[in-house]
Amino acid sequence: MPASPGTTTANHAAAIERDSRWVSLRDCDAGADGRFWYAVASTGVYCRPSCPSRRPRPENVAFFASCADAACAGYRPCLRCRPEATDRLRYGFGGSALGGVLVARSDAGVCAILLGDEADALTTDLARRFPRAQLQRDDASMRDIADAVAGLIEAPTRDPGLPLDIRGSAFQRRVWSALRAIPSGATASYADIAARIGAPTAVRAVAGACAANPLAVVVPCHRAVKSDGSLSGYRWGVERKRALLRREATAA
């Protein structure tokens, strides 16, 4: 049970709220899936951080490093988020005007588009982003998606119509939604984006969400710039960011 002998409920709740994992639980952060699991004493179930069920009271929460640990403590898996299940992601490589592209998809849709020239480094990045997933390389079945991404880079105003499986915290998804609302050929400052999502003081957090974006080009974090219009860091290189913006400005 969450509270150990001699620990008051209030103390336990305060300790849970100080734990960084509570923030991931509170925000339904899919990026934390596979890093820990939480159990709820009042329901007797354990869940993954991204579980969409109603947020539990902190005094009822316990954290576990594995499903097995939660089960050994007497909890059963949540039927809604299926914490014991493991994602199977298919991924493949393609080429583009900006170099190599790794694309990955789940049953729900495309969950990663990563840019770079080193296949091993891109695969390592994919594994880091989805630590609980079983990765299966399948270049043939992913070719159409890779070609669609390459086509989007060539013709930025064309919507590839890809089904997306966008995973992240509630805050990250708000930022990424705001990025997708920026028209091709336009840019917005991090401060502008923060204001648009109703969090004007969260400029650094907006920049962090842009850096964490797993869907290059489709979620256009390259359109986020400094307040003076200059280019700042880009997860896949500032030169790629400059090239993407140049293409979009020409096509607009």
Tokens for 131, please give them. 């630590």
Residue whose entry in the numeric block shows the structure tokens 């336009």: 186
Q: What angle do CA 174, 135, 122 make, to 5 degrees?
A: 70
Report whether 188 contacts 182 (CB < 8 A).
yes
Closest CA to 214 of 142, 251, 154, 164: 164
Catalytic residue, chosen from 47, 81, 111, 210, is 47
Catalytic residue, chosen from 51, 78, 210, 221, is 221
DSSP state of 183: P
For the question of residue 221 being annotated catalytic, the response is yes
For the question of residue 47 being annotated catalytic, the response is yes
Burial of 205 (0-12, 13-18, 19+ CB in 10 A): middle
DSSP state of 7: -
- Catalytic residues, by residue number, are 47, 221
